[in-house]
Structure 1
Amino acid sequence: MSAELSTATLVGDFVAVNPGTARVLEAHGLDYCCGGQRPLAAAAAESGLDAEAILAELTAVAPATDELDVTKLTNAELCDHLVSTHHEYLWREMPRVTQLANKVARVHGANHPELREVQLTWQALVTDLTEHLMTEEQEEFPAIKQAEADGNSFSREGVEKLMGEHDEAGELLARLRELTGGFEVPADGCGSYRALYAGLEDAERDLHTHIHKENNILFPRLR
């Protein structure tokens, strides 16, 4: 990583430079997607953490040699990457995890009443994401690609709208983590229970990366 990175560097920029640093930030509970536009010092102080110690951990992470450097993609290429990588993942996983959430709530809900809230929160996230993904694929991303091709700027209003939707998704993800105790499966959890929590955690991880690429790489360019 660059020697220029410091506690004044935006949290999202660490992950933009080296995606492997996301694990360090997640371990400390630091938001690098929706909250990625804050300096590390401010984010650490807000959580009562030592920014210099976290910086040392971040700069110690070796970059993966086979990791795609999305910062080098054009806006059009980045839009295509987001759809083929993260949108396709969500279109595939949302129905599967929804079925698991419904099944586990039905079977284990009597002993674990929080599962009903997990089910409802996940469904709210799916509803929001379905509209969000369709809007990006059918309207916003084509407009971004056309603006780049024509040498024009993209609507700042469009950027703010998408970022607001990201904030809402981030709140629902945080609620799911809280309801599940960090996706910790109880002792009486069956295979479907474990599959549900694994699916929720994977979705959280992918969405954090997905939102980071838009909020901290694509959208700042458009602004």
Structure 2
Amino acid sequence: MDTPSNHTAHQIDPTMTLGEIVTLKPSLAAELQRRGFDFCCHGDRSLADAAVELDLDAQKVAEDLSSIHQDEAPAQWASLGPIDLIDHIESTHHRYLWDELPRLGQLVDKIAMVHGDRHPELAEVQRLFVELRSDFEPHLTSEEQVVFPAMRSLMSSTDAQSGSAVDELPGEVRSLMAEHEVVGGLLEQLREITADYTVPADGCASYTETYRALSALEADTHLHVHKENNVLFPTVEARTSAGARA
């Protein structure tokens, strides 16, 4: 579980994992993303290791990050137990997606129809969004109806548990993490095809809102995946491993 460890309250150190950094100072998610760091699907990597691949000076990045929002408190959700964290993920990120994906779908279709002749890249934006939504919605359903109930059952028991749903959790978690990678790749492609969501000069209000909403969806998804991959799933994995040894 990526929670702040032996570091001062606001100091970022190159030995910290990317997940620890975002949990310590949530506003740094955007700063890491801007620099090319993948803190959600690969949040278990240290800042130092990730910086090498990006050809960045890890110490300089750490110092820059440390200077941002020095009075920011650690994320409130970071102190939640696993069951409360699941509730938080469902009420915050899942609810957002169930509401936003249909609305965004209508916006994407609208600007593709109105502006597609002048901006042929919108056909690819439309295709990528359809694929993103078709991946996301079954993923959310699986978590809500199968995986999260099994996690709640496991984490609420004081004894080692067994049963088909609990026994299948390690495999289910691996599948969810693989699906997170797919969604992350689609979001990356959307950002590339839209030139970082740059609205063209002839873009209308709907065009502007679509790109704003897609960028917001990306930011929310990165934080959503971070909470699962780097905080919730390791806690559940530790519990299932302990049960297997019992």
TM-score (norm 1): 0.94
Deviation per residue, 1:17-62 (Å, 9 max, x gap): 2212212202212111012111111111111111111101222232
Confirm or deny: 8 A CA contact 2:107 2:206 kept in the other structure.
Answer: yes
| Structure 2 counterpart of 1:141, from 145, 148, 156 | 148
Confirm or deny: 8 A CA contact 2:25 2:75 kept in the other structure.
Answer: no
| Structure 1 counterpart of 2:95, from 73, 88, 94 | 88
SS at match of 1:19: coil
Confirm or deny: 8 A CA contact 1:101 1:118 kept in the other structure.
Answer: yes
Give the fraction of aligned pairs with identical amino acids, expressed as a percent: 41
| Structure 2 counterpart of 1:198, from 188, 194, 212 | 212
CA RMSD of aligned residues (A): 1.6
- Structure 1 stretches lacking a partner, 5+ long: none
Q: CA deviation at 1:69?
A: 2.0
What is the correspondence of 1:34-53 to structure 2 with a 5 Å cutoff? 34-53=41-60
- Structure 2 stretches lacking a partner, 5+ long: 238-246
In 1: Cα distance, 2:82 partner to 2:56 partner: 35
In 2: Cα distance, 1:17 partner to 1:198 partner: 26
Confirm or deny: 8 A CA contact 1:24 1:57 kept in the other structure.
Answer: no
In 2: Cα distance, 1:63 partner to 1:113 partner: 45
2:196 maps to amino acid: G
Change (3 A) 1:89 1:70: same
1:90 maps to amino acid: L
Q: CA deviation at 1:64?
A: 3.1
Confirm or deny: 8 A CA contact 2:177 2:229 kept in the other structure.
Answer: yes
Q: CA deviation at 1:5?
A: 4.9
Partner of 1:24: 31
In 2: Cα distance, 1:73 partner to 1:63 partner: 21
Residues paired across the two proteins, number: 222
Confirm or deny: 8 A CA contact 1:20 1:63 kept in the other structure.
Answer: no
1:178 maps to amino acid: E
1:64 maps to amino acid: E
1:174 maps to amino acid: E
Say yes or no: does 1:208 pair with 2:222: yes
1:198 maps to amino acid: R
Confirm or deny: 8 A CA contact 2:23 2:75 kept in the other structure.
Answer: no
Worse-superposed segment, 49-58 or 194-203: 49-58
TM-score (norm 2): 0.86
Bigger Rg over Cα: 2
Partner of 1:57: 64
2:37 maps to amino acid: L
Deviation per residue, 1:198-219 (Å, 9 max, x gap): 1100100100110010111111
In 2: Cα distance, 1:11 partner to 1:28 partner: 12
Say yes or no: does 1:123 pair with 2:137: no
In 2: Cα distance, 1:197 partner to 1:45 partner: 31
SS at match of 2:27: helix
